[in-house]
Amino acid sequence: MTIPLAPSTVALPPRWRDKLAYLGYQVRRSPLTMAGLAITLLVLLCMAFAPWLASHDPNALNLAQRLAEPSAAHWFGTDEVGRDLFSRVLYGSRQSVGVGLFVAFSSCLIGGLLGCMSGVIGGRFDSLIMRLMDIMLSVPSLVLIMALAAALGASLFNAMLAITLVRIPFYVRLARGQALSIRQMGYVKAAQTFGAGRWHIVLWHVARNATPPLLVQLSLDIGAAILMASALGFIGLGAQQPTAEWGAMVATGRNYILDQWWYSTFPGLAILLTATGFNLLGDGVRDLLDPRQQGK
């Protein structure tokens, strides 16, 4: 007995090229996403090439040039010990954006996995995790971050840990909600009948299919994380002197804001621009991955 089958004749173009072209088309349709992408790329380039782009050593003191106005030699002016602000803002991108990226990715990874496990395993494990997350969510996040950062000790790394910890519950809830619906899907049941273990199901079936909303949340979170890191730096719980960090720079500059406007302004603008860029890009990613949410 043979079963007649329609021969498959359609030759497909290479997948990745097709995907890239589609992505380009989608991005081109939205000017705001384009702008976000441009800003993000600019910031990432600054991060990567800070040593080559900087006009001065960011930590070199020059007491003769204290609080100098912006000029050809010092584009953004200098600070109270004569350090070049342009170079410091450039180097500061490494701290602030680095924290933003690290926080978003690590809290997404940890929270996503925890949420998927919670949803799949269910029962007491699920209740325990979720009540823990509820407790964390019940405290205003900035207060919790400050408390954690203060308890761990003031440093950029501890600030990073604190923000990550506080962002985790959002991902856990998101991932768990996804996991609850995904674990009812036919392919999870099918995988079970073929002998798949729990871990395999969490990783390859649930987590994998729960990814799109997590990615959306992640891309929207980078900007928020940068703001939070800067806020911690501003109140002195983040990066310490003499590290160039935007929030700390704005905070020190505050003392001179009436006479030396450039000190706080340029790091502040850097924060504004970067956060805006990542947020615009995040919106674009959301529209791409979740078209039904578009325009909301």
Partner 1 sequence: MVKPMNDPVLNIDNLSIEFPAYRSTVKALNGVSLQVNPGEIVGVIGESGSGKSVTAMLSLRLLPERSYRVSGGSLHILGRDMLAAKEKDLLSVRGRDVAMIFQEPMTALNPTRRIGRQMTDVIIHHQQLSKQQARAKAIALLRDMHIADPEQVLDSYPFELSGGMRQRVMIALAFSCDPQLLIADEPTTALDVTVQRQVLLLLREKARERGTAILLITHDMALVSQFCDRVYVMYTGAVVEQGVTAEVMAAPSHPYTQGLLSGLPEQVEPGQELMTIPGQVPNLAALPEGCTFRDRCAFAMAKCSQRPPLLAEGASGQRKSACWLSTEKQAS
> Which residues of the shown chain bind partner 1 in the complex (CB under 8 A)?
1-3, 5, 7-8, 185-187, 189-197, 200, 204-205, 208-209, 211
DSSP 262-279: HHHHHHHHHHHHHHHHHH
With respect to partner 1, which residue has the nearer C-beta, 30 or 211? 211
118/218 Cα distance (integer angstroms): 20
Instruction: Find where tokens 């674009």 sit.
Output: 284
With respect to partner 1, which residue has the nearer C-beta, 34 or 196? 196
User: Closest distance between partner 1 and the C-beta of residue 138, in Å?
Assistant: 30
Is the Cα torsion angle 234, 238, 241, 244 positive or negative in sign? negative
With respect to partner 1, which residue has the nearer C-beta, 52 or 194? 194
User: Closest distance between partner 1 and the C-beta of residue 222, in Å?
Assistant: 24
Q: Which two tokens stand for residue 192?
A: 């079970």
User: Closest distance between partner 1 and the C-beta of residue 104, in Å?
Assistant: 22
Is the Cα torsion angle 75, 250, 50, 52 positive or negative in sign? positive
User: Closest distance between partner 1 and the C-beta of residue 1, in Å?
Assistant: 6
With respect to partner 1, which residue has the nearer C-beta, 15 or 296? 15
Position 218, amino acid? L
With respect to partner 1, which residue has the nearer C-beta, 155 or 192? 192
| SS3 of residue 35 by DSSP | helix
Q: Are 158 and 149 in contact (CB under 8 A)?
A: yes
User: Closest distance between partner 1 and the C-beta of residue 72, in Å?
Assistant: 55
User: Closest distance between partner 1 and the C-beta of residue 186, in Å?
Assistant: 3
With respect to partner 1, which residue has the nearer C-beta, 5 or 151? 5
Q: Are 78 and 68 in contact (CB under 8 A)?
A: yes
For residue 282, give the nearest of 262, 133, 290 by alpha carbon.
290
User: Closest distance between partner 1 and the C-beta of residue 121, in Å?
Assistant: 11
With respect to partner 1, which residue has the nearer C-beta, 3 or 63? 3
203/288 Cα distance (integer angstroms): 24
With respect to partner 1, which residue has the nearer C-beta, 138 or 193? 193
User: Closest distance between partner 1 and the C-beta of residue 120, in Å?
Assistant: 12
What number of other Cβ atoms are within 10 A of residue 45's Cβ? 12
Q: Which two tokens stand for residue 290?
A: 């979740």
Q: Which two tokens stand for residue 64?
A: 């003769």
151/276 Cα distance (integer angstroms): 31
What number of other Cβ atoms are within 10 A of residue 171's Cβ? 26
